[in-house]
Structure 1
Amino acid sequence: MTHIRLVYNSGYQWVKKEDVYVKGFIFTPDNQLLRAEQLADYFSNISSFHVFQERLQQANGLFSVVVKKGNILWAAVDTTRSFPLFYYHKQDSFFITDNPDTLKEYQIPLVVDEDNAILFAYSGFVNGAKTLLKEVYQIIAGQSLCYENDCVTKEFHKEFLTETFSMKTREELKAELKQVLDHVGKRMVKVLNNRPVAIPLSGGFDSRLIAYLLRKNNYPNVICYTFGKNNNPEQNNAQRTTHNLGYPFYFINYENYFNQSFTQDPIFKEYVNFATNYCNRFAEQDYFAIRELMKNDTLPENTVFIPGDSGAIAGHLLDEKMEKSEFSFAEQAFNEVFSLVYPRQKEVEIIRKEIHFLDKQSDNYPPYLIYENWRFQGTTALAFNSSKIWAFWGFEHLLPLWDRDLFDFFVHVPFQHKYDKNLYKETLIDLFNEFNIYFPGEELYPSTDLIKKVSFRSKLKSKFPFLKKFVHIWKNDHIGNQYFAKGFLQELKASKERRTLLSFNGISSAWYLMQVRKTVQNEKNN
């Protein structure tokens, strides 16, 4: 027996037509925009899981879908996993939901999986299809699922993997990228349909590209905002960008919130519940900015948020040394991803078992591409989890820099043009000069000295892990996380948590894990 429970309807809403449930929107290969009932029609009248896969492979957008055909069920999420789906399978019953808490309605006990809790404590997310709960799983980004004859089959309809790479010259690749970005901008404007836009604008290139594409398409009614400590490095570039593009700019000074206790605020706790779903750390950075903009009536109800997530597909995760045969991607993953707490030997063994495959040789794909694909299916989903902040307040969002055409372009770009986002950055500079939003002095690539320092520190920490205890967490804290962490740390101290936490993300992850344990224990006691 199959059970479908889809309850989150803040921002994008679920639409049900007969036995098809859809959320979000897509563009078809002939550039038709489909949402709501039209999107449900796209996934109707499908004869097999194979045909379902074909439809998914042709869809370009943000979406999740569940199709029920008698006792057969198909489900899928897009490559951003913007609308997560979870499932539980036991004793001839299959449950699918967008909120694992709904499983309690069917008397299914929620039990913390301790090995998965270790993965979460170190990284802020749970790897692959796992969650913090035993026997409760998630559909991975770009994956589809089939439940039939009491068996679950899973396949990827989209991955960041290829066996063929472009043979074009660098100038030809730059020209192609400009054309792809032009199409991305036009699709973005079509989805917006004249609704007001809010851009969380940093000082970097990705969110600036969003602002550029809107200005290039003469899109009206755009505001940009930045937040953090006053006079932080992001603020200056963001303000110059909006001035040159002619967009209103808002700066939310987080110093006004430094003395506020919010960890017991019912609204904040509700947001944490909404955003995490037992698998990802919550994103807190935009929380106060949205509340401030809403309080001042800056945001019309139909505002659409468009962040710069994620220029990662352009090569953000790669650097030049990764092409060397002796490079260890498993070691890279351990040092860069599983780095939120000071390591304990038994826990390290559990983590290394999860990532050892990254150093296995593949007959089909280069190691760096396997590493990127793994990051996109796991840690990038954590980045996209930040979109929950806007959905929580009832707003829709777009992720144009994860457009399928852009995704397909960069998966085929050779390594030498992709590491450190070098092709992407140079192309964007050409575009930005049109509106004078590339500012002299911005460093295009990391300096040689910086690369040497980072490499040296990384080797030291790898060889002498105890050095991690001396990391200055707040050295480059432009947001004010040091002050927001106070409430988390006070509660962790009261609970007698004894871990050396190496970053703000480590602190917030430990705090959330503590909340999960309390929730599960309370359920058990009741």
Structure 2
Amino acid sequence: MADSLKNLFGKYDWTTDMKIFVAGFIWLNEKCIFGKEFLELISRHTQRFDDFKKLAGQLNGHYSVFVEMPAEKWAVCSHTWSFPLFYRNTGNAIHISDNPEKLLNEESKLQSSSLSRNYFLTFGVTPANTTLIQNIFQILPGELIRFRGDKKESFRLFPYTEKYRKEDEKSFDEKEFYNLLFEVFQRYSNHIKEKQVLLPLTRGYDSRVLGCLLKEFGHRHVICATWGRNRNNEVRTAEKVAERLGYKHFFIDYSKEVPKDFTRVKEFEPYIHFTGHFSSMPFLQDYFAIKSLKERKIIDSQTVVLPGHPGDLLRGSHLDNHLLLKSEKYAISKIISSFGTSYPLACSEIKELEEFISQTFFSSPQTPAWMQYDEWDYQERQCKFIGNSTLAFSFFETEVLMPLFDMELLKFFRSVPFSLKLGSPLYNQTLETIFEKHKVAFDLKIPQTDGQKFSPLKNLILRNTPHFLKKRYYPMEDSIYYQEITREIRNSDKTFGYKIPFKPNNYNSYIIQWYLQFVGQQISAKK
């Protein structure tokens, strides 16, 4: 039994007594708890399930926990989904693993439903708790599951939107957010200490404020890095920010670092398995940069990486005033248009997606549509898609910390009223105060008072415009170098087929289509 469990939990760095497995860290009394200390804490709360559930509901950090009891199994993933867990019900037993490939058998098949396939092709993640494989499921962000025999009880420890009551809304000011941001970062600063930090730096607000906070708390061993197409629009601002903060800056030029035959490089396929896990698009945006930094010995296994996720969720950058004024239907259409790949689906297939999103994420008539929109964004995009991209750093054995994904910040911003999220006034103005203090208040965003609106008419025109005209309208040369990366992906296996997305420069669509066929090929080879 012990060897079997150890085999099922081998992807991440687990601490275990062969009954309890813990990965990652939590905060306890402002101290970072991990490894043996984390294991002992969990062990003291496993006499009864209610004790374990109460403790799990109080945890803040990036972690996963699995507990094997004589007649039960308990598993929980943190609100960040940093260490995804998967399970399979064979009818006689429940098997849980950090690697869904360990749960495959000779009867494993791809999902046959059009919903699962089209949802994945549209968003780059599988719907809710499903995976691309029948009868293999994922534990959701902030979810605790109790397995007893063939019964399953699910508890959402961190629903991003709780039951809404307008009378609970209160006013907020910059000072309140400012103080909380510094209090939260103090914990991360204490944990980092003298370690080397890699800050993926863009021209945006989120990475810039992390750079300022590192400076504020006296961290000297900081490396800033930007990557993509030569001299893309992020580089000049990022270089200037790093210089003002007194940190070294590296630019990884993808025209030099991305080999033409990268799909044949020995690390590539293991990377795809590690980051895709049958449920999320494997991100290639960061892969080449981290590989280069590691090979050039600029970073190593002791380096701590600080991505700026999920700043756009906190600030409300995807909200618009129509979400407050219009219906659920508008919100769902905006989800598909704003976050989707524009993969060409029939109207009936889009309707199927809309019905699923409505039933799964818009089931509370008392909760405003914009908050339920945020719930979808938090779970399906920020955790399973964008947050999942941090596994690129984990693959190259570097520690990842996401200060902006701290539970206290999420709780604070889910209480912020719509008026202070629309156009991001609270978030942006607070960060700009910090930028001014550190003399990096340049190349700032122009405030959008009504947010980014979704236009059904524009969407209709897009679907019916000839491809050659769309290529003239949409800039095909992207800042990341995805045009060339996805061209190599498409040429890597001539047996794979592709459909052109309605937005021809949505290169993620090609990676998603490639991965879906890659998984199908893998499943066929198992039989």
SS at match of 2:465: helix
Whether the aligned pair in 2 keeps the contact of 1:342 and 1:468 (CA below 8 Å) is no
CA shift, 1:455, in A, is: 4.6
1:391-440: CA deviation from partner (whole Å, max 9, x where unpaired): 1111110011010110110010001001232210011001111111110x
Greater shift in the superposed pair: 296-305 or 134-143: 296-305
Mind listing any 5+ residue stretches in structure 2 that lack a counterpart? none
* Contact 1:160–1:411 (8 Å) recurs in 2: yes
**2:379 maps to amino acid:** Q
Counterpart secondary structure, 2:489: helix
2:37 aligns with 38
Match of 1:377 in 2: 379
**Cα drift, residue 447 of structure 1:** 8.2
2:350 maps to 348
The aligned runs of 1:84-95 (5 Å cut-off) are 84-95=84-95
Shift of 1:509: 0.5
Matched to 1:211, the amino acid is: G
Asked if 2 retains the 8 angstrom alpha-carbon contact of 1:143 and 1:154, the reply is yes
Corresponding residue for 1:117? Answer: 117
CA distance in 2 between counterparts of 1:71 and 1:273 reads 32
User: CA separation of 1:201/1:346 partners in 2, compared to 1, >3 Å: closer, same or farther?
Assistant: same
Q: Do structure 1's residue 394 and structure 2's residue 397 form an aligned pair?
A: yes
Pair 366,227 (structure 1): closer, same or farther in 2 beyond 3 Å: same
CA RMSD of aligned residues (A): 2.4
- Summarize the Cα distance change of 1:359–1:180 in structure 2 as closer, same or farther, 3 Å threshold: closer
How far did 1:256 drift? Answer: 1.0
The amino acid that maps onto 2:93 is S
**Distance across 2 between alignment mates of 1:248 and 1:258:** 23
Q: Aligned residue for 1:481?
A: 482
In structure 2, how many angstroms separate the alpha carbons of the residues matched to 1:426 and 1:399?
21
Cα distance, 1:345–1:72 mapped onto 2, change above 3 Å = same
Query: 1:124, CA displacement in angstroms?
Result: 0.8
Which SS does the other structure have where 1:425 is aligned?
A: helix
**Distance in 1, Cα, partners of 2:495 & 2:370:** 41
**8 A Cα contact 2:207 2:308, kept in partner:** yes
* Residue correspondence of structure 1 range 283-432 to structure 2 within 5 A: 283-311=283-311, 312-326=313-327, 328-357=330-359, 360=362, 362-381=364-383, 382-432=385-435
The corresponding residue for 1:185 is: 185
Distance verdict in 2 for CA 1:101–1:476, change over 3 Å:
same
The alignment covers a number of residue pairs equal to 512
Distance 1:108 1:183, change over 3 A: farther
Deviation at 1:353, TM superposition (A): 2.7
Matching residue within 466, 483, 490 for 2:464: 466
TM-superposition CA deviations, 1:110-157 (whole Å, max 9, x none): 210033222211211101100000010000111110001320111100
Letter in 1 for 2:139: I
Aligned to 1:242: 242
C-alpha distance in 2, partners of 1:23/1:6?
Answer: 15
> Aligned to 1:203, what secondary structure does the other structure show?
coil
Q: In 2, are the aligned partners of 1:92 and 1:150 still within 8 Å (CA)?
A: yes
Once residues 288 and 496 of structure 1 are traced to their aligned partners in structure 2, the CA distance between those partners, rounded to angstroms, is 23
1:304–1:397 contact (8 Å) kept in structure 2 = yes
Q: Per-residue CA shift, 1:246-303, capped at 9, x if unaligned?
A: 0110011111145622123231111011100000001111111112212221113300
The one-letter amino acid of 1:203's match is R
Residues 62-85 of structure 1: CA deviation (Å, up to 9, x unaligned): 000001121211100011101000
Q: Distance in 2 between matches of 1:251 and 1:476?
A: 19
Is 1:228–1:479's contact at 8 Å kept on the other side of the alignment?
Answer: yes
Report the Cα distance in structure 2 between the residues aligned to 1:37 and 1:119, rounded to whole angstroms: 40
Partners of 2:522 and 2:269 in 1: how far apart? 12
C-alpha deviation, 1:53, in angstroms:
2.3
Alignment partner, residue 507 of structure 2: 504
* Structure 1 gaps, min length 5: none
Aligned in 2, Cα 1:141/1:341: closer, same or farther, shift over 3 Å?
same
CA distance in 2, matches of 1:276, 1:213: 32
Rounded to whole Å, the distance in 2 between the matches of 1:307 and 1:184 is 15
| Corresponding letter in the other structure for 1:461 | N
Does the 8 A contact of 2:62 with 2:80 survive in 1?
yes
1:19-53 deviations in Å (ceiling 9; x for gaps) = 2110000012x323210111112212323333222
For 2:266 and 2:491, how far apart are their aligned partners in 1? 18
Name 2:522's counterpart in structure 1. Answer: 519
Maintained 8 Å contact 1:6/1:99: no
| Deviation, structure 1 residue 465 | 2.3
Note if contact 1:5-1:96 (Cα within 8 Å) is conserved in structure 2. no
Q: Could you tell me how far 1:498 is from its partner in structure 2?
A: 4.5
- The CA distance in 2 between the partners of 1:8 and 1:254, in whole Å, is 34
SS of residue matched to 2:404? helix
